Every structure is written in C-alpha cells, then in structure tokens.
Amino acid sequence: MPCLLHTAAPARGSALLLISLLALLALPGCGLLPATPANNAQAGSEEGASATSDTQAAFTLEVRAPQDIADYLARHLELQRFQSLPGLTANELSRLLGAADANARELLATLGYFSPTLTVEMTETPGSSHAPRAIAVTVEPGPQTQIRQAHITFSGPVAETTQGADTDQQADQVRRAWSLPPGQPFSQSAWDGAKAQGLRTLQSQRYPAAQIAYSRAEVDADTHLADLSVTYDSGPAYRFGPLRVQGSQRYDSDGARRLARLPTGADYSEAQLLDAQQRLASSGYYDAVFLTLDTEASDPQAAAVLAQVREAPLQKWVFGLGLSTDSGVRWGTDHIHNRLPLVGWRAVSKLALDRKTKLISTEWTDLPDDGGWRWFGGAQAQRETTGSYQVNSARLRAGRGQSTERIDRNYYLQYDYANSQGLQAPPSSTALSMNYSWTGRYFDHPNAPSTGHGLAWELGAGTTLRPQRDPFVRAMVRWLGFVPLGKVALDGGLPRGSRLALRAEGGVVLARDAAQVPVTQLFLTGGDTTVRGYAYREIGARTDNNLLYGGRYLAVASAEWQRPIALRGNFTDWESTLFTDVGAVSDQLGALHPRVGVGAGLRWRSPVGPLQADLAYGVQAKRLRLHLRLGFTF
C-alpha cells in the first residue's frame, strides 16, 4: 500500500609575493607522503593500549548489507549508541533489539528502500575478548524506489505570470533545473535538496520572500515508484529601494550609496545585492559590510536595502616583505588616508624597494558620482634599472576613471620626466600626453579564471618638451583568452576541464626618428608575466655596442596548456602546464627578432589566487630560469 511522506514548508533562512609562499610550494606535498613504518607501529601500539585499558563493550554490532547501505546504517542506527553500556540486562537488550528493526526500516526508507528484508540476530560470545554478545543486522534492501513523476506548481504573483501568454522565466528555470526528474532514484536527502534548490532559484531574483507552501512525496511500496508534489509560494515581487547605512560615523552615507551603485528601482537580484556589498567591502572605507533587503517594508516595489557596516580607521599603515624571481627581495610600506583634510579624497601612498627599483608614489581618488566616474590624481618618483641604464624618472597624472563589473575606463593628462645614467645613455627628456585606457574582463572568476577572455588597450598622444618638442603617439593592446580542450574524467568523480591559455601583447610609439621620447614610454619585456626563460625586462632594443634600451615596437605571444592533476584517483588543487612564450622589442618594425622561452610548471589554487611555479628555458639566452608568481592580474 502507498506510504505518504509529508514535510512542512521550511522558513527562508597585486599583493606582494611573501617569502613564506616558498614554503607553501612544499606544504601540500607533505600530505602526500606515506606514513612511515615507525609511525604506523606507534599508532598501532597506542590503539592496542587504548583497547586494553577501555571497559569491555556490551556487544559488537555487524551490519551485513551492500557497502554503502552498511556504512549508512552503522553510522545512524540507534543500537550502536548502547555498545558502551556493559551493564545491560537481557530484558533491556531484548527491548533494544525489538526497536532496532523499526529504526533500520526508517533509515532505509530515507534512502528509498521501502520493502527491505531485515534480520536481527544476537549470539552469546562469553569467550570473546571484545564483548559477551554479538549482534548482526542482515539487510536485503530490495529495489530502490524510482521517481515516477514530479509535479511542480506555484502560487502568488509568479503563478499569475505562468497562467498568461508568457511563461515566467524563473518558474521555467525551477522546472528545468529540478534535480529529481522521472527515472531518478528517490531518497529523503535528494528530495530535500531538490526542494531547497528550487526555492533558492526562486529567491535569487524578484521573489526574496518565497517559501515552500506545500510538499508531498507519495511512495508506492508495491511498485517502488514515487510521485512528488511541491508548491512554491513566490510572495510579492520586490524592487530595490534606497540604501540605508547603519553604523556610519566617520564617512558620508551618501558616499556609501555611490560606492555601492545599487540599481534603485530595478527588480531585486541577489547577485546585484552581493556585487554592491563587494564594492563597499573592497572600497577601503569599511572593514565589514553586510547588505540585506528589508522584506518587512510596506511597499515591496521600493524595499529599502539595509547596509550594516563597520568603518575602517581613518589612517592605516601596511608593511610588506616579499620575494620575486624578477627583482629579488622586496620591501614595501603603504600609508592609507581615507579622508584627506579639506578635499576629502582618499590617498594611498607607497614606498617600495627591491634589487632593481626604488619607488615612492601617492594616488588620490575622489568618491564616485552617480555614474560611477571619479576624479583621481597621482605622482611618483622612481629609480630603476631599464635595460643597460639606471633611470631616474618622475610622473604626474590627473584625470577621471570609471570601474564597472566588467569594464574599467580612464582618461588622464600625464607628465613624464626621465634621466638615464650610464655609458652612452640617452639624453634627459620630458613629455606631456593625453591618454585613454579601456580594460574589459570577461572571465568566469576574477582571481582564478579557467574560461573567458580579457582585452585591454591604451592610446596616448602628446609631445616631448625637452630637449626639443616633437609630437608622438603611443598605443598598446593586450589580450588573454582560454580555449577549452575537453574534460579529464576519473572514475566516480566529476570531470575537470583542461584548457589552452593564449596571450598576446603589442605596442608601438610613433614619432620621428630623432624625437627623444622618455624611456618610461618605451618598451622592454621578459620575466614572470611576459616571456619566461628571460630576466625581468631583459628583451629590448640594442645599440651598436650591444647596450640594451627601450624600443618603440613590442610584440609578445604565449600559448600554455593547463591540465588538472589527479592523485590516487582524485583530483587535487594542482595543475600542470606546458608553455611557449615569444617576445621581441625593436626600434624598427622590420628588425623585430623573436626571443623564445619554453618550459613546464605547476599551479596551485590557493585561497588568494593561483600560486605559479615555472621552469623555463630561454632558447636564445641558453639558460634555465625559475619563475614564481602569486595571483592573477589582467
């Protein structure tokens, strides 16, 4: 005869590469080492001593069933809780055995087995060193119940749409994504999961107050078939109202609204709410941010969004110590002032020192306007190794910028000064230019992408000021894309994709041959993120004396095969790579001579982004070079 299961409706519930990262390369390997015989012997000795010292159990329990069912029953049978009570009388144990049959049937029903054959047997074992009695539960589960049909209905405003000419897209999405279609095996956990997933889909857009109004699983134990029914009550459709900030004392609440860029008046979207929360959290003004929609509002069409914030200190110092294969040990200090006197802008000032570069800089940014545009200004002074020369340079920049979910835009006026030092060094020069940059990121993940692409380009036009005035144009473009190469499958696990990462970069400076464009506007390449197998900015133009300097033309290309690594039949957080990099820099377009690097590497998906270790061979340099890098930037 049919069995009815009725469930109540639930209520709605970059950065610097630290020296310590070198150790991280070794740490995951430690867990892969097999236990030593000494360790195993010690563990066995400790277990034996523990078993000897413990009080003898009341009985041993054995479940005889298919492995997955036996493991489940052994974990959840009520009977196993009483094994450690040695004083059980025969009458008490008899009552426990009587209840064990019903308990096992209830547990099997949650797995979809409604007509099992069970035998519970007890044997006296007075001579055993483990327990005076042995209990065996033998299970023949019978056929597992299959889904015959799943009936999904809706009530509330979403139902009014589904009854019209146009079917509600969210209702369709719930039905399409339903995880228990006809033919699938039934279990209580799968049934609960399917209902919860449908509710989350409905709550993610427009209907945050949705709930399960009714659910029923009707199981026919004779035919081993189940009919499922669930009704979702959508509740009213919500739209974003004003943002109300709670906990703001030091910073302007209207500034928080402009930083969040919440689409007031638009249909509620959980993704947009989380994006606004992330923008506030990453702005630097707040240490903690939590956004919720006020579903108790009288008008769902203008529901307020409550922002609970904990403000960051007005000023903060950040010290860092890192290591790069490009520039060696790096020490840095950042000072952050979140509200400068008089202007109220945010200032981030930096001091960085490594083997090749000494830098001091400051960047000031205003709060964005309603369109997301903000004013910014910056200054920096730097001494660095550029090719065969030491270059002292300075830069001033001022303009406006806008950052959206996918796209960054900036236009700015820039002043450059460069003074090269060394044998046959280029003369000092200055320039003034107007620039525009655009960056689009269309990756599946901002920190560890595996699909998608990114495109960035810059265009500037200006004139040199010293030693004489000459107009020039500077353009640069970068592209990165991932091409799927199929899935790597393992027995009993979800497959993972391998991919080809393709990268291209090009740049050009157009000016008359005698124009003294500042060397900071010219191109050099080579290193961890460009052409591996060569030192940082080792590839450039050459003088007749083989001195290296920045060139006016740049071309870089790379192809990298990335593949997941499996260990003992399971995927790990590691990937292997094979790559080829090619790059060239020259003062003449026809004189570009490519430098090639080939190699292999490892990637570890760390919580802060991929940790990359590559061993590359520079074909023209004829040497091996190790490259280490943390994080993904584009």
pLDDT one-digit tens code per residue, 173-201: 999 999 999 999 999 999 999 999 999 99
40, part of any domain: no
Give 15's pLDDT tier (boundaries 50, 70, 90).
Answer: very low
Helix/strand/coil (H, E, C) string of 318-347?
EEEEEEECCCEEEEEEEEEECCCCCCCCEE
51, part of any domain: no
pLDDT value for 98: 85
Which range, of 36-50, 246-260, 265-279, 403-417, averages the lowest pLDDT?
Answer: 36-50
Same domain, 603 and 463: yes
Exposure string over 203-216, b if 16+ CB within 10 A, otherwise e? bbbbbbbbbbbebe
Same domain, 131 and 158: no
Same domain, 519 and 547: yes
Same domain, 197 and 304: no
Which range, of 102-106, 154-158, 544-548, 586-590, averages the lowest pLDDT?
Answer: 544-548
Distance (Å, rounded) from C-alpha 330 to C-alpha 321? 6
pLDDT value for 492: 56
pLDDT value for 16: 31
Q: Which H or E element spans position 275?
A: helix 270-281
Same domain, 256 and 396: no
Same domain, 418 and 552: yes
43, part of any domain: no
pLDDT value for 60: 87
Average pLDDT of the chain, as a whole number: 86
Last residue of a domain, one of 183, 206, 233: 233
Distance (Å, rounded) from C-alpha 325 to C-alpha 323? 7
Residue that wins the pLDDT comparison between 523 and 222: 523
Last residue of a domain, one of 122, 140, 158: 140
**pLDDT, average across residues 328-344:** 92
Q: Which H or E element spans position 71?
A: helix 67-76
Same domain, 119 and 267: no
Residue that wins the pLDDT comparison between 44 and 418: 418
Same domain, 484 and 576: yes
Same domain, 177 and 306: no
User: What sign does the dihedral 515-519-521-526 (CA atoms) show?
Assistant: positive
Same domain, 213 and 244: no
Does residue 153 carry a pLDDT above 80? yes
Q: What is the CATH number of the domain that holds 254?
A: 3.10.20.310
Same domain, 453 and 571: yes
Say if pTM beats, i.e. exceeds, 0.85. Answer: no
Same domain, 548 and 464: yes
pLDDT value for 193: 93
Contact 76, 66 (CB under 8 A): no
Distance (Å, rounded) from C-alpha 625 to C-alpha 320? 25
* Cβ burial, residue 196 (10 Å; 0-12/13-18/19+): middle
208, part of any domain: yes
pLDDT value for 493: 61
Helix/strand/coil (H, E, C) string of 146-200?
EEEEEEEEEECHHHHHHCCCCCCHHHHHHHHCCCCCCCCECCHHHHHHHHHHHHH
Q: Supply φ then ψ for residue 200, to 5 degrees.
A: -65, -40
Last residue of a domain, one of 311, 330, 353: 311
212, part of any domain: yes
| Count of the separate structural domains present in the chain | 4
125, part of any domain: yes
pLDDT value for 434: 98
Contact 24, 606 (CB under 8 A): yes
Q: What is the CATH number of the domain that holds 64?
A: 3.10.20
The owner of tokens 């961890």 is 528
Give 46's pLDDT tier (boundaries 50, 70, 90).
Answer: very low
364, part of any domain: no
In terms of residue numbers, what domain contains 206? 146-233
pLDDT value for 351: 97
114, part of any domain: yes
